[in-house]
Amino acid sequence: MKKLVLKTTFVALSTLFTFNATATAHTPALGKEYLEIRQVPSTQKEVLEFFSFYCPHCYDFELVHQIPNQVKKALPQGAVLKQYHVDFLGRQSKELTRAWALAMALGVEDNVKVPLFENARNNHIQSIDDIRTIFLANGVSAEQFDSGIHSFAVNALVNKQHQAAEAFKVRGVPSFFVNEQYQLNVEGFSDSKSTQEFVQRYIDTVLFLIKK
């Protein structure tokens, strides 16, 4: 898949993950676990993840290791987690970005996230009709889908996701940004000695940055 810049790092990590080690306390370092991309933080404390339903690493982050969910549960009061879909991976990526916009507009992200991941992973999404079937099977009415998929609100959310990806120069996923000031640097976690250590360090770094 084009623009997926994380492949080499994750291949290296997969070798490290064969070892069974216990994670140790570690303070994230600028230039290693995270990069500063802007000097001024956002007004609201927020974590922004860019992902794709076609991305196997996003699948692992979301469904295997549950990193976004763990981050969300541990965020301080007033901080939020936002997830934006990118439209540069996979044949139906633009339709899936629109589908995710509809999910956000309807507040049904948790209903459709897993089936969208699973169907994209198994190459079962060939058109917007397949996406419609998934939504209808997971609590969204035909009227909600048909009237909403090209609505003004959904169009605005499609544009918002695309513009944000362009603004942050996202070229690979999953990509995490904190307070619009810091970007998680996945290569900085390549010295993790186990899956557990990698996941915990990644989560700890996000929470460290949100509290800076």
Q: What tens digit of pLDDT does each residue of 160-186 get?
A: 999 999 999 999 999 999 999 999 999
Residues 41 and 47 sit within 8 Å (Cβ to Cβ): no
For 57-80, what is the mean pLDDT?
Answer: 97
Strand partners, 47: 81, 178
d(CA 22, CA 192): 10
Whether the per-residue pLDDT at 21 is higher than 70: the answer is: no
Q: Which pLDDT does position 18 carry in this prediction?
A: 38
Q: Say yes or no: domain 34-210 is CATH 3.40.30.10.
A: yes
Helix (H, G, I), strand (E, B) or coil at 86: coil
Whether the per-residue pLDDT at 12 is higher than 80: the answer is: no
Residues 137 and 115 sit within 8 Å (Cβ to Cβ): yes
Spatial neighbors of 39 by CB under 8 A, at least 6 apart, are: 181
Whether the per-residue pLDDT at 15 is higher than 70: the answer is: no
d(CA 52, CA 63): 13
Taken in order 81, 170, 4, 155, the sign of the CA dihedral is: positive
Spatial neighbors of 212 by CB under 8 A, at least 6 apart, are: 179, 182
For 111-137, what is the mean pLDDT?
Answer: 98
pTM of the model: 0.88
Residue with tokens 């992902």: 51
Copy the structure tokens of residue 212: 């800076």
Cα three-residue angle 164-169-173, rounded to 5 degrees: 85
Give the start-to-end residue ranges of the domains of the chain: 34-210
For 42-52, what is the mean pLDDT?
Answer: 97
Neighbours of 197 (CB within 10 A): 20
The two most distant CA atoms of the chain are separated, in Å, by: 51
